[in-house]
Amino acid sequence: MITLENLVKAFGTGNAPVVDDVSLSVPAGAFLVLLGPSGCGKSTLLRMLAGLENPTRGTIRFGDTLVASASQSLPAGQRGVGLVFQSYALWPHMTVAGNVDWPLKVSGLDPAIRRIRVAEALDLVGIADLAGRYPAEISGGQQQRVALARMIAPRPQIMLFDEPLSNLDASLRVEMRHELTRLHAATGATTVYVTHDQVEAMTMASHVAVLNRGRIEQFGRPGDLLTQPATAFVARFVGTPP
Ligand code: ADP
Ligand code: MG
C-alpha cells in the first residue's frame, strides 16, 4: 500500500539530509511504527506522507499512485490520508459534532451524509453522548477522542499519527493505545504511527522501522527486532540486553 523509494529530505541546499535514503514497503492494513530518538527525522518523514513537505529526492507511492517525487506532489487533500498529532487543535467555538463535521463540510459532502458520518465516527471512538458539548467542557482524553473522530470521519485509507499520546498521563496513554489498536482494526486503514516510545511500538505495531539520523536501521516485525536486532543501536533502542 505504501512504498517509499530512496526517499531523501534536506532542508536548504548543502545541509545534511534529515531523511536519508529511506526505502520501505508496507502492505495494505499494516500498522507501521516509525520508532527512533528525538530529531531522527520521524516527523519529517510523516509530513512527506501527509503532503505537508515535499521530498528532495526519491518517491512515495500509495498503491499504484505516484503521490510525491522531487518534481511532483499530489495535494494533501487528494491523498486519502488523515493526520493526528499531539496538539488536538479543536475549534473552541464549535461543538464536538461541529468539529468532527468540519472536514466533511469543507469537502462539500451532502449534509445528510455528513450527519451519518459524524454519528458513525463519534460512535466508533465512544463519545456519541458528547456530540453537543464544547471542547472546554470535556476532558483531555475526550478531546483526544474528538480529534480521532474528526480524522476518521472522512474515511481515510491511510491514518497518520505523530506522537499522539505524548501529552497524556500514563494511565490514559495505556487506555488510548488500546483505543487506537481497536480503531485500526475497525477501520482497516493502513496506519503509520510515529513515536520514540518503544513500548508503544512493540504493543501496537504490525511492522516497525527503527530510524537513526534519518536512516532506517532495521525494518521488521516487532518480535524480530527483539530477538534479532540488526545493529547495536536497535538492540539498545528496543531494550534487548547486549
Ligand atoms: P523527530 O520527529 O524524529 O524528532 P524531525 O523530523 O522533527 O525529527 O526533525 C529532524 C531534523 O530536521 C531535526 O534536526 C530538525 O531540527 C530538522 N528540521 C525539521 N523540520 C525542519 C525545517 N522545517 N527546517 C529546517 N530543519 C528542520
Ligand atoms: Mg517529531
Pairing of strands 2-9, 57-62: antiparallel
pLDDT tens-digit series, residues 140-172: 889 999 999 999 999 999 999 999 988 888 888
pLDDT tens-digit series, residues 229-242: 999 999 998 875 55
Of the listed ranges 76-85, 96-105, 130-139, the least confidently predicted one is 76-85
Q: Is 130 in the pocket of ligand 1 (CB under 6 A)?
A: no
Collapsed DSSP state (helix, strand, coil) of residue 80: coil
Query: For ligand 2, a single-atom ion, which residues have Cβ within 5 Å?
Result: 43
Q: Crossing angle of helices 111-124/140-152, nearest 10°?
A: 130
Does ipTM come in above 0.95?
yes
Give the nearest ligand 1 atom to 214 CA. Answer: 10
Q: How far is the CA of 95 from the centre of ligand 1 (A)?
A: 34
Q: Is 44 in the pocket of ligand 1 (CB under 6 A)?
A: yes
Q: Is 40 in the pocket of ligand 1 (CB under 6 A)?
A: yes
pTM for this prediction = 0.94
Q: Is 27 in the pocket of ligand 1 (CB under 6 A)?
A: no
Q: Is 42 in the pocket of ligand 1 (CB under 6 A)?
A: yes
pLDDT tens-digit series, residues 202-239: 999 999 999 999 999 999 999 999 999 999 999 998 87
Q: Is 11 in the pocket of ligand 1 (CB under 6 A)?
A: yes
Closest CA to ligand 1's atom 14:
39
Which residues make Cβ contacts (< 8 Å) with residue 88, sequence separation at least 6?
135, 143, 144, 146, 147
Closest CA to ligand 1's atom 2:
43
Q: How far is the CA of 166 from the centre of ligand 2 (A)?
A: 11
Give the nearest ligand 1 atom to 40 CA. Answer: 3
CB-facing half-sphere around the CA of 197: CA atoms within 13 A: 16
Do 94 and 104 form a contact (C-beta atoms < 8 A)? no
Q: How far is the CA of 121 from the centre of ligand 1 (A)?
A: 32
CA-to-CA distance for 65 and 218, rounded, in angstroms? 26
In terms of Cβ atoms closer than 10 Å to its own Cβ (0-12, 13-18, 19+), residue 134 is: middle
Q: What pLDDT does 240 receive?
A: 59
